[in-house]
């Protein structure tokens, strides 16, 4: 289900995976032991094709172990509260859950290669999905709801015990919790600070590695290509120009190279990306003129996709050595023109495959409330006119 | 132009490779009467030799193309300058145009187009590359929200007419003057007069927004 523990067990003892899973679920609902068993198995059973277990690596992870130890005072708090309030099942549930949480910490910090990537990229985001965009609002909501629930809980508890007898155990429990916070609080804080520092150091190392990778991928590769095509001046010029443009935008505009996606946040950035890609891929010159600029919306991304399609078409079919791409941001609409002086075609007699392309450009634009017009005549080049409203139409 | 009909041109560019490239490409149709690679030498030689057209790099050691224009135009107001660069910085280009250049092209232009541009500038017309047209539209777009110009400014100079805007837009889209004329069903001469009038506005306007636009761009 999560780490393949059930599958491993069923393979080992020869019972159907589904039965093993049902067993785990029942154990979890009954006493919480299922979660504990699952976590322990994850920790101690090596991955298929690996010789070391996560546990063997976790022993060396001192900070991870300290984090696990930091859970102990929390467990004590929960135990005290559950005893004070006579909620036995909370007490018995908390043991396996806390140990499982400890295991989870060690697993996350010490999982190997692929598993680590999977945890970081797939599992963690699903656990707190949406925190990136609305983190402040969700935090506020969480605190409000949590506070309301806590107060409601206290009220219910007090109402449930009409005498003041309930106040004493609660008060006692609060005092002990306060004591624990006073004793362990500073230690927790340093632990958190260490973790943040560690994360920052890792982020910096990653950035450095990325930079090295980029210089290798683009600059060194281009230099090698230039050496190889030294006897073809046109190609050398093309390579040098593409590289220069990419490097310039990377160094001075902080724009990472690559395909268009989230790294372009404005129209002119997106058009710059398209220009670089098509010049590099098709060996033609794309003359870009952009008047004004604005942030990208879904509609404008569709406009960029359509303009890329149109420019690639021109590069492939027109035979012209250069294509002009002009975009103007007006108050309510963005106009974009892709023009070549190539061989052109008769719009009345388009072969099916090209009509398909024209249609895909048009369909893309229409979906977001825009429009596309293709003008062409044989021997006179082609111009594609795209327009997209800046505000998204009401659904 | 001279009696022989071959324009006499002067090259100002700090890249020797580019200068020899231009010589090779235009040599058959023009007389290159001199070269310079920095401002002072350029000003001195141009004032002395009085070419028909100066091909002027926007970026030059010793003050840029602007400084050459300031050193020559007061003595030879009829001298025609065509600015060119590899630079993408709009404010530098606009500055050179405002200092008196009659056109701007990028260095990636083909030899044929370069010759046509030189001839056009030599004949007293303005040469707007698509990029320059874009810069101008951008510069004049600011403040086009119906606000009145400050008192004392000539409102005529501070706005582009709808027709001028149309012409610039087509040029920015990669149309030649001839294609612009056909598209708008006007004569090529009319297109040229629109472009010249835009150039005049660009050079004479004291528009606050124009300076502000340039400053904004520089700050980004």
Q: Is the pTM value of this prediction over 0.90?
A: no
pLDDT at site B220 = 43
pLDDT at site A158 = 64
pLDDT at site B1 = 45
pLDDT at site A338 = 93
Residue B218, chain A, CB below 8 Å: the answer is no
Residue A115, chain B, CB below 8 Å: the answer is no
Specify the higher pLDDT residue, A133 or B83: B83
Specify the higher pLDDT residue, A365 or A168: A365
Residues B18, B114 share a domain: yes
Q: Which of residues 248-287 of A touch B (CB under 8 A)?
A: 285, 287
Determine the residue of chain B that is closest to A337 in CA distance: B173
pLDDT at site A178 = 79
| ipTM, interface predicted TM-score of the complex | 0.74
The answer to whether position B106 is within a domain reads: yes
Residues B73, B144 share a domain: no
Low-confidence ranges of chain B (pLDDT < 70): 1-4, 87-88, 142-158, 206-220
In this prediction, residue A264 has a pLDDT band, given cuts at 50, 70 and 90, of confident
Residue B182, chain A, CB below 8 Å: the answer is no
pLDDT at site B50 = 93
Last residue of a domain, one of B105, B124, B143: B124
pLDDT at site A385 = 93
Name the residue facing B173 among A285, A292, A337 (closest C-beta): A337
The CATH code for residues A259-389 is 3.30.565.10
Residues B210, B105 share a domain: no
Specify the higher pLDDT residue, A135 or A195: A195
Q: Which domain holds residue B158?
A: 135-219
The phi-psi region of residue A33 (left if phi > 0; otherwise alpha if psi is between -120 and 50; otherwise beta) is alpha
Name the residue facing A326 among B108, B141, B172 (closest C-beta): B172
Residues B120, B13 share a domain: yes
Residues B54, B156 share a domain: no
Residues B143, B109 share a domain: no
Residues B176, B114 share a domain: no
pLDDT at A86 over 60: yes
Report the domain count for chain B. 2
pLDDT at site B18 = 83
Residues B151, B58 share a domain: no
The answer to whether position B170 is within a domain reads: yes
* CB atoms B141 and A292 under 8 Å: yes
Residues B104, B17 share a domain: yes
Instruction: Give A293 to chain B, closest Cα distance, Å.
Output: 10
A228-232, A339-343, A367-371: least confidently modelled range: A228-232
Query: For A49-81, what is each residue's pLDDT tens digit?
Result: 566 677 777 777 777 788 888 888 888 877 777
Query: For A311-324, what is each residue's pLDDT tens digit?
Result: 888 888 888 888 99
């Amino acid at each position: 289900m999560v780490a393949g523990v059930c599958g491993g067990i069923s393979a080992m003892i020869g019972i159907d995976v589904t039965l093993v899973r049902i067993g785990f679920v029942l154990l979890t609902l009954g006493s919480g032991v299922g979660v504990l068993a699952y976590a322990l198995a994850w920790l101690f059973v090596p991955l298929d094709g690996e010789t070391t277990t996560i546990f063997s690596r976790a022993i060396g992870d001192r900070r991870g172990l300290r984090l696990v130890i930091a859970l102990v005072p929390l467990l004590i708090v929960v135990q005290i509260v559950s005893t004070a309030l006579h909620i036995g099942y909370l007490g018995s549930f908390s043991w396996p859950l806390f140990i499982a949480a400890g295991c989870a910490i060690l697993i996350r910090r010490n999982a190997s290669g692929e598993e680590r990537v999977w945890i970081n990229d797939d599992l963690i985001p699903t656990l707190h999905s949406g925190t990136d965009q609305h983190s402040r609002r969700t935090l506020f909501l969480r605190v409000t709801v949590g506070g309301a629930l806590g107060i409601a809980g206290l009220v219910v508890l007090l109402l449930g015990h009409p005498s003041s007898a309930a106040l004493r155990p609660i008060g006692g429990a609060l005092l002990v919790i306060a004591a624990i916070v006073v004793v362990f609080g500073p230690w927790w804080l340093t632990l958190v600070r260490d973790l943040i520092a560690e994360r920052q150091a890792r982020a910096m190392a990653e950035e450095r590695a990325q930079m090295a990778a980029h210089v290798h991928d683009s600059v060194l590769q281009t230099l090698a290509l230039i050496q190889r095509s030294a006897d073809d001046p046109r190609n050398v010029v093309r390579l040098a120009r593409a590289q220069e443009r990419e490097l310039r935008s990377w160094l001075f505009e902080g724009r990472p190279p690559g395909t268009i996606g989230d790294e372009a946040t404005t129209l002119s950035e997106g058009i710059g990306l398209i220009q670089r890609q098509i010049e590099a891929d098709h060996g033609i010159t794309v003359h870009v003129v952009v008047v004004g600029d604005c942030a990208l919306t879904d509609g404008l991304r569709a406009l960029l996709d359509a303009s890329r399609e149109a420019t690639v078409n021109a590069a492939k079919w027109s035979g012209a050595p250069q294509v002009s791409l002009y975009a103007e941001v007006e108050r309510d609409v963005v106009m974009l023109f892709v023009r070549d002086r190539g061989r052109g075609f008769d719009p009345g007699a388009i072969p099916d495959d090209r009509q398909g392309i024209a249609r895909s450009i048009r369909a893309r634009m229409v979906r977001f409330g825009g429009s596309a017009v293709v003008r062409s005549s044989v021997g006179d080049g082609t111009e594609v006119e795209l327009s997209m409203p800046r505000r998204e139409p009401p659904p | 132009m001279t009696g022989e009909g071959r324009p006499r041109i002067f090259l100002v560019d700090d890249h020797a490779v580019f200068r020899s490239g231009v010589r090779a490409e235009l040599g058959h149709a023009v007389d290159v009467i001199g070269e310079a690679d920095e401002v002072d030498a350029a000003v001195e030689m141009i004032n002395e030799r009085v070419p028909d057209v100066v091909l002027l790099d926007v970026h030059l050691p010793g003050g840029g193309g602007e400084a050459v224009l300031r050193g020559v135009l007061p003595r030879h107001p009829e001298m025609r300058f065509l600015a060119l660069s590899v630079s993408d910085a709009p404010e530098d280009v606009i500055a050179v145009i405002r200092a008196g250049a009659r056109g701007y092209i990028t260095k990636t232009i083909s030899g044929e187009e370069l010759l046509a541009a030189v001839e056009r500038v030599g004949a007293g017309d303005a040469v707007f590359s698509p990029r320059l047209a874009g810069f101008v539209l951008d510069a004049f777009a600011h403040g086009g929200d119906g606000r009145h110009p400050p008192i004392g400014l000539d409102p005529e100079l501070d706005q582009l007419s709808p027709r001028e805007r149309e012409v610039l837009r087509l040029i920015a889209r990669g149309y030649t003057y001839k294609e612009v004329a056909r598209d708008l069903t006007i004569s090529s001469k009319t297109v040229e007069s629109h472009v010249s009038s835009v150039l005049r506005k660009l050079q004479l306007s004291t528009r606050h927004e124009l300076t502000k636009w340039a400053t904004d761009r520089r700050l980004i």
